[in-house]
Copies of this chain bind each other. A is one copy, B any other.
């Protein structure tokens, strides 16, 4: 194990909106990138239209956690922010890259990204998210990175 430190600075603690955060730095398995040997990755860009439950922060945290797990990815950190007036923005940082989400509940629209290098399977993450948020239509792009 190497020397390490964590710097956390909450500059202003005035809480005017709700956020949820989980830090997961569990063991030596997450201290090295899961994709050190190659930078190649698969980045799925998924626009969900006609989706539901896009304003539930606890559900979103659970959905991102499940999406990472089902893709075979290692979760490092989740941060989810809800806006007053509606909408969620959030990210799950992975040892393999990230899953992100931005929602507009009033438009029944959500922008998901599942970007993963190595052996992780981002298409399984998107399928899981589809099963939870039940969009009537998905526009999906698959972009090779690295």
Contact = CB atoms under 8 A, between A and B. Distances in A.
A2 B14 CA distance: 12
A85 B33 contact: yes
B4 A16 contact: yes
A23 interface: yes
Nearest to A102: B97
A28 B85 CA distance: 12
Copies, count:
2
A111 B97 contact: yes
A79 interface: yes
A32 to B, nearest CB: 5
Interface string A8-26: 1111101111111111111
A141 to B, nearest CB: 7
Main secondary structure of the interface of A (DSSP, over half): strand
Given A12-B24, A32-B84, A93-B81, A39 B98 contact: no
Given A7-B21, A23-B11, A102-B98, A85 B36 contact: yes
Nearest to A12: B26
B5 A24 contact: no
Interface of A: 1-2, 4-12, 14-28, 30-33, 35-36, 39, 41, 43, 45, 47, 76-77, 79, 81, 83-87, 89-91, 93-95, 97-98, 100, 102, 104, 106-107, 109, 111, 113, 115, 117, 141, 143, 145-146
